[in-house]
Structure 1
Amino acid sequence: MNRVFIAICLLTALAACNRTDAETEIGAAEDFCQRGEDALAEGDSEAAIEAFEDCLTTADLEPEEEAVIHTRLGGAYLYLNRYEEALQAFNLAYAIAETQGVQFDNPYVRRNRGIARRWVGQTDGALEDLEFAARQLPDDIMTQLNLGSLYGDLGRQAEAIAAFDTVTRIEPEWAGGWTNLSAALLEFGLNEEAIDNARRAVEIDPESGFALNALCWALIVDGQHEVALPLCDQAVAAEPDNGAIIHSRAAALEGVGRLDEARELYARAYELYPGSTVIEDDYLRTRVDPE
């Protein structure tokens, strides 16, 4: 039930495009390259994608420059959660490097490609890329977050805990690190430690529905439904349309014997988050079929 936080750390800027008055066509093409860089710097990924695509089709780029532009394009797609297009761009960058003999392997690009691979289901490749990035960038929060989530997906909970623990060391005042660590500890059966870490998240950000839900859920797993319920109420009030958070409140209600209310919330949670097997199982288990 963790939320994945994605941020893009871009490569060093592409070598400047030089223009002379006699090279107007080349200059126009090179303007697209710089326009893409400027759009990325301003956080406008849509504009960056358009500019970089124009750059690739019009500019006279050396192979190394072309590879870098593809990584820029991949980063812009990734920021918009367009994972398949991001992966295609990253793969093109590496294909150019391999076929043209370019020395090209950057840990930030490997991290970003690993994120894209994870979201398109290429687990082995994602693990290879993210572990490479982690060796080169041991204090990069995005690498550790995504690696921890991937380890969790693979059932490698001890490694997930280690990755999320690194996140809390890098950014101790960010509640998200503690919520991720809490969830990993729960999966490992360390309920007391999970509750402590979720409490830390709430202390850091007491208005966050996600931090409140982390503590709510940790208490539910530990069997403390009555203690959990007020926190679940607050979490739903903060995030009323989040299926995972609604599911937590339903579980707390069921735990204190209020099954009719829980049943309605399980159905609502399933409507909002049909991809969760945990939510689906609880919805199917508690629903009342018409006779």
Structure 2
Amino acid sequence: MISKRYYRLIALWVLAETFLGGLLHAFRIPLTGVFIACFSALFISLIYSTTRSSKKLIHATLIVLVFKMLLSPHAPLGAFLSVALQGSFGAFIFALVPSQKLGRTLVTVFAYMQSATMKLLSLTIIFGIGFWDALDEFMLSIVAYFPFLSTVLSAKNLVLSYLGIYLITGLIAGWMIGKVSLESRRGSLDIEGNTPQGEKKKSSKMSLEWPVILLLFLIYFLPIFPDSFREMSLRAAIILTLWQLFLGPLVKKLLFKFLGSKRSGMIREINLIEGILPEMRDNLKISWRAASTQKGLLRIPFFVKTWVQISL
């Protein structure tokens, strides 16, 4: 019999992927993948620690994908593929590596680097573009994403800095996740009368892909850039446009069809987790308020630890 903790951890992962991920994108937080990858790696690690089963971890990943389909149907395809890849890699690594701390570190670093290179993976695996050509498009998309830094750093150094940030933060997060225990603190905080039921605010989310595509097209028509760079930017803009308008929606439709076929076999578990989600959402608000006592960046790990512990 599966423990209730298993489903509570899945509910936490669902909220991190849908609610927290949506907030970060809505407020245009830079390097959003750094935060989302951390939550994903944390809950993948804790789910495996609870079940000691790669099969149960894969099952949990499918449940999270179904909820993401239901709650965030307009999320980009890369967000769905990231969950699938990270959950599958976690199941593989934890089955292979006997050390929990090492396994958690590897899973976290993978989640961070996969998040950082998702566009490159999409271009090579789905589009079938050669690696070096795909690398050119990837570099241009990062230059377009950080145009203010491209005047200071070369394209190569900007990409290396971008990947370096993900690698270093992934190693730090992996070390911290390796120390997280499954200690429960439910009931340890005063939560009565402390959970406001305000109306949910719907934030309009516009994909950042289109501004990047427009900037790449603009670069092509500006003679101040070298011809080779302008041609690369035009090719990147065309590929990204095709992805946004045609291939991305098609692959997403096929993914949703697959997840829809799995949904009927998970209906009892889906209903169970739906019943848990409101409590998890309230705990999230409580944990954030409790973390207000912390200073600076210490607030974030305190918030995550508190949220997990009072939710188990």
Pairwise TM-score range, normalised by the shorter structure: under 0.3
Higher alpha-carbon Rg:
1
Judging by fraction of residues, say which structure has more helix.
2
Task: Give the TM-score of the pair, scaled to structure 1.
Answer: 0.26
Task: Give the TM-score of the pair, scaled to structure 2.
Answer: 0.24
